Structure 1
Amino acid sequence: MSNKSHDRPDAGVSQGTLVIIGGHEAKGGERPILQEVARRVRGGKLVVATVASHKPEGYFESYQEGFKDLNVGELVELYVEERAQASLPETLKLLEGASGVFFSGGDQLRITSQIGDTPVESCIREILEKGGVIAGTSAGASAMCETMLVKGTSEESHHIGDLRMAPGLGLIRDVIIDQHFAERGRIGRLLGAVAQNPRVLGIGIDEDTAIVVEGEQLRVVGSGAVYVADASGVTSSNIAEARRDAPLSLHDVKLHLLSAGNGFDLRARRPLSARS
């Protein structure tokens, strides 16, 4: 008898660590999420990529304050106003010797359109492949996936035509991420995303909450919750037949709710025991 998980392609990330944050992570007090990033930087250089913002003023300064006293050796800002800058030697020099990259919030399409398939993206992948950490909050979280959620109505039942997705950076495979999750009532649009492609897991992350992804497993840190929607066992869906303005119908979808300390196996699609 075959194990269903063995038939799936690899999930997760091959090397290094991803810290994927739902937005509005604490920058004062205990700062568990920023501590998680700093611990993996190990006193090295952290690049804060403010690429997602149309007006980046203030973002870098807030992370200077947030990472203060957390044993980050050097903090530098990477901003690309025009795509051509992602190939300039002075831009690439900012990434030299970096132990990690932190994508701030804004518009995820700015991340993919400005640095996708450029030398900057290649440098970021190299940092991850060498065991570094790549973190992203809000828009920076959504951009981590092969396919990213760009737009969709929140706080109401999902309507079939009301979802926009686009190619992401592909740093994590076979998942789709949504952020500001409970705060903006985004369960409907996450279910709409997995209804379109039941092969992928839908992961919704609350504010001040993150998933730390190493290999094929993730662990939750922060003050909120993480929702994992698995549509692989769905028995009925109207996603392909109904009108675009019709509400989504989806039967036998599985939903896991995780809090700090809980883990999840992305390949087996099963929760792990909470850490003591």
Structure 2
Amino acid sequence: MVESKGGADGSDRDLSAGAPASRGRPGGALVLIGGHEDKEGAREILREVVRRAGARPIVVATLASEVAGELWVEYERVFRALGAGDVRHLDIVQRDQAREARWLEILEGAGCVFFTGGDQLKITSKLGGSRLADAICAVYRRGGTVAGTSAGASVMSETMLVGGAGEESAKVRGAVRMAPGLGLVRDLLVDQHFAQRGRLGRLLGAVAHDPRLLGVGVDEDTAAVIEPDRRLRALGTGAVYVVDGRSISHTNIGEEEEDRVLSLFDVRLHVLSAGDSFDLETGRPGCGQPR
């Protein structure tokens, strides 16, 4: 993994990933989609995925889904309609298949790996620590794009959210569950279907548990695009929410009363619309115009 030199404010935040420090920053981009991206209209987000892949293959990874075949048919159709000439299917059912050479061959020359939605634990349990996971990281390091929608977005970070109550106030002993992700980006938590499922409370609770983690919530039909220079840009019809807990001055997260509502002082919240950006090194947002 790439080791960051820290933010401009002296923090130890490390938000890059993919290779040892001696190899430098990853050359590719991450596209974190909040789910339910448009597949029939302007298809802005999926069009961006195809643009970034260029003439290189797009590999659709359906590892998270119970209906992998249906998702493969759908995404192959959309990507080809948007101009992709080579679309491949990565479909591992059991972890031992990650050792098979045929799956490594599918990734050769790939311009993008696209993770569909489903259950992010299915992705990490099949890929974690495997040569195939290393090969996906290598696509990212050498300038390719790794994209994911819904669970496929949450799995990108080193620590991922896998559960917790939405649509209600966070509790000090709330059931926020986290687990190791693929580690393509460090010190970041990604939550999806954000406004649609009322998940601000659970993202605040997750950041309160570990304020070194930057919380990123992504609405449906919206993407947070992380560029090689570690600038995050919002794309799509909704918003991207950034919860920065480094300045927290007080929280009651350590109290024993299970039903006590979470108390959290001096947390910073940034809301980005299409074209706006957030510098992951300096912690500063920037205004922009949609592309």
Class of the TM-score when normalised by the shorter of the 2 chains: over 0.9
Greater Cα offset, 66-75 or 103-112: 66-75
Shift of 1:73: 2.1
% same residue: 50
Q: 5+ unaligned residues in a row in structure 1: which ranges?
A: none
Shift of 1:238: 0.5
Is the CA contact (8 Å cut-off) linking 1:230 and 1:254 kept in structure 2?
Answer: yes
User: 1:155-211, CA deviations, whole angstroms, 9 ceiling, x for partnerless residues?
Assistant: 001123311100001101111000000000000000001101111110000000001
Residue 182 (structure 1) aligns with: 195
SS in 1 for 2:208: helix
Shift of 1:48: 0.2
Residue 181 (structure 2) aligns with: 168
Pick the aligned partner of 2:104 from 92, 99, 113. 92
Residue 120 (structure 1) aligns with: 132
SS in 2 for 1:64: helix
CA distance in 1, matches of 2:126, 2:14: 28
Residue 192 (structure 1) aligns with: 205
Residue 43 (structure 1) aligns with: 55
Pick the aligned partner of 1:230 from 241, 244, 260. 244
Residue 156 (structure 2) aligns with: 144
Matched, 1:270 2:290: no
Greater Cα offset, 161-170 or 179-188: 161-170
Amino acid at match of 1:204: G
SS in 1 for 2:162: strand
Give TM-score scaled by structure 1 length: 0.95
Matched, 1:254 2:242: no
Shift of 1:244: 3.0
- Note the 1:123-134 alignment, pairs <5 A: 123-134=135-146
Amino acid at match of 2:253: I
SS in 2 for 1:67: helix
Matched, 1:221 2:218: no
CA distance in 1, matches of 2:11, 2:209: 20
Aligned Cα root-mean-square deviation (Å): 1.4
Q: 5+ unaligned residues in a row in structure 2: which ranges?
A: 1-6, 18-24
SS in 1 for 2:223: strand
Aligned residues: 274
The structure carrying a bigger strand percent of its residues is 1
Give TM-score scaled by structure 2 length: 0.91
Is the CA contact (8 Å cut-off) linking 1:50 and 1:104 kept in structure 2?
Answer: yes
CA distance in 2, matches of 1:244, 1:4: 37
Amino acid at match of 2:77: E
Shift of 1:8: 2.5
Residue 82 (structure 1) aligns with: 94
